[in-house]
């Protein structure tokens, strides 16, 4: 029996669209342990965000639906929970941080009240005490002058401060799992470093697990313990971070690493792009989703769908070709 905090098995999430049914997340399985930072990396349409929303059961139904699989969180299958059951977990034991802090904060309610709300809601803490906790949390996320900032409105905060407030809100009930979906994409790089350092520092101290969803391979290299690479709604490779960068194995992962310029790389090197276009989820090929763009693809790749296999300890890839 696995002791993982979160165990996602065979998760499949579909959306009905004008162009037919789209499988945004297709038979995805992975585990996350307490205290661990796991990055889910992929480009637009890879299914990384829909995976996160599925875990929190935030898929709008209709048009979306989790059609199969289970999401075992600390012994409970979240897929089977009713609305009341999932609401009791969301914001309490699992917290989410979104990309756009401005659209995730209510502009007409003070920051302090918004941070205090989950404390009041989930823990039954009276409002006075909950606001006191909000002030503590604001200073924990290093917002200067927290005592007065607690009664400020979101528009009075800068972008970086709003994202700090979101982190404070996420930490309010000491969650076991924090899911951060591109938490710093909208921020400047110097602020990005501050926010991600803070997020990792605080989640480590609280022994919370952190799922970091990003397209940035630099952010993954700096913060992740383990990496899940997604393409076309599927997991194509997963490995401990050090191992993934030392030995990227799936042709898509290798292609990504060859296509990005590096801050410390060889400047004379010509970038090797991944040819072709990102996959159209409504018209995926029958075999490997990456086959149309893969230089090594063979007939088997085009006809049959590869499953994850272990190629080194804890290093899996879904690919027929050995590189």
Partner 1 sequence: MSETTAVMPAPAGAAASADPRPEILNVRDLKVHFPVYRGVIVQKQVATVHAVDGVSFSLRRGETLGLVGESGCGKSTTGLAILRMLEPTAGSIVFEGEDITKFDRSRMRAMRRRMQMVYQDPYGSLNPRMRVRDIIGEPLQVHGMDKDPAEYRDRIAALLAMVGLLPDMADRYPHEFSGGQRQRIGIARALALEPGLIVCDEPVSALDVSIQAQVVNVFMDLQQRMGLSYVFVAHDLAVVRHISDRIAVMYLGKIVEIASRDDLYREPLHPYTQALLAAIPVADAAVEAKRVRLVVSGEVPSALAPPSGCRFHTRCPHANERCRTEEPPLVGSGDGRAVACHLHPA
Interface with partner 1 by CB under 8 A: which residues?
43-44, 158-161, 188-194, 197, 215-224, 241-242, 244-246, 255-257, 259-265, 267, 270-275, 277-278
Closest by Cα among 111, 141, 146 to 206: 141
In the complex, least distance from residue 119 CB atom to partner 1, rounded to whole angstroms: 27
Q: Which is nearer to partner 1, 133 or 250 (CB)?
A: 250
Token couple for 126 = 């009276």
Are 49 and 213 spatial neighbours (Cβ–Cβ below 8 Å)? yes
In the complex, least distance from residue 145 CB atom to partner 1, rounded to whole angstroms: 13
Closest by Cα among 175, 206, 193 to 56: 175
Q: Which is nearer to partner 1, 137 or 161 (CB)?
A: 161
Q: Which is nearer to partner 1, 5 or 161 (CB)?
A: 161
In the complex, least distance from residue 255 CB atom to partner 1, rounded to whole angstroms: 7
In the complex, least distance from residue 241 CB atom to partner 1, rounded to whole angstroms: 4
Q: How many CA atoms lie within 13 A of 260 on its CB side?
A: 12
Q: Which is nearer to partner 1, 49 or 176 (CB)?
A: 49
Q: Which is nearer to partner 1, 11 or 111 (CB)?
A: 111
In the complex, least distance from residue 264 CB atom to partner 1, rounded to whole angstroms: 5
Sheet containing strand 94-97, strands side by side: 94-97, 177-181, 209-214, 37-41, 226-231, 234-240, 315-317, 309-312
In the complex, least distance from residue 32 CB atom to partner 1, rounded to whole angstroms: 18
C-alpha 192/C-alpha 233 separation (Å) is 27
Q: Which is nearer to partner 1, 95 or 217 (CB)?
A: 217
Q: Residue 118 to residues 20, 91, 200: CA-CA distances in angstroms?
A: 38, 6, 21
Residue 284: partners with Cβ closer than 8 Å, 6 or more residues away: 23, 232, 233
């Amino acid at each position: 029996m696995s002791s993982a905090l979160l165990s996602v098995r065979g998760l499949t999430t579909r959306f009905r669209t004008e162009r037919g049914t789209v499988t945004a997340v297709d038979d995805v399985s992975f585990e996350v342990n307490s205290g661990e930072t796991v990055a889910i990396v992929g480009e637009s349409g890879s299914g990384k965000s829909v995976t996160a929303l599925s875990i929190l059961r935030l898929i709008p139904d209709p048009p979306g639906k989790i059609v199969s699989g289970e999401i075992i969180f600390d012994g409970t299958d979240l897929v089977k929970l009713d609305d009341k059951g999932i609401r009791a977990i969301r914001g309490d034991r699992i917290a989410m941080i979104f990309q756009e802090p401005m659209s995730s904060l209510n502009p007409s309610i003070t920051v302090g009240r918004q941070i205090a709300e989950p404390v009041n809601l989930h823990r039954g803490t009276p409002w006075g005490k909950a606001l006191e906790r909000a002030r503590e949390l604001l200073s924990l996320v290093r917002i200067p002058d927290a005592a007065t900032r607690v009664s400020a409105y979101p528009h009075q905060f800068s972008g970086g401060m709003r994202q700090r407030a979101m982190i404070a809100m996420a930490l309010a009930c000491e969650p076991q799992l924090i899911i951060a979906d591109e938490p710093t994409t909208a921020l400047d790089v110097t602020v990005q470093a501050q926010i991600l350092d803070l997020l990792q520092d605080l989640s480590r101290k609280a022994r919370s697990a952190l799922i970091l969803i990003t397209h940035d391979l630099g952010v993954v290299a700096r913060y992740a313990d383990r990496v899940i690479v997604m393409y076309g709604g599927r997991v194509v490779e997963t490995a401990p971070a050090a191992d993934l960068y030392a030995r990227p194995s799936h042709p898509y992962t290798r292609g990504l690493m060859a296509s990005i310029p590096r801050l410390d790389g060889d400047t004379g090197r010509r970038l090797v792009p991944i040819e072709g276009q990102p996959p159209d989820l409504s018209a995926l090929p029958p075999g490997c989703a990456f086959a149309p763009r893969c230089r090594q693809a063979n007939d088997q790749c085009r006809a049959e769908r590869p499953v994850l296999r272990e190629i080194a300890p804890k290093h899996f890839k879904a690919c027929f070709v050995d590189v």
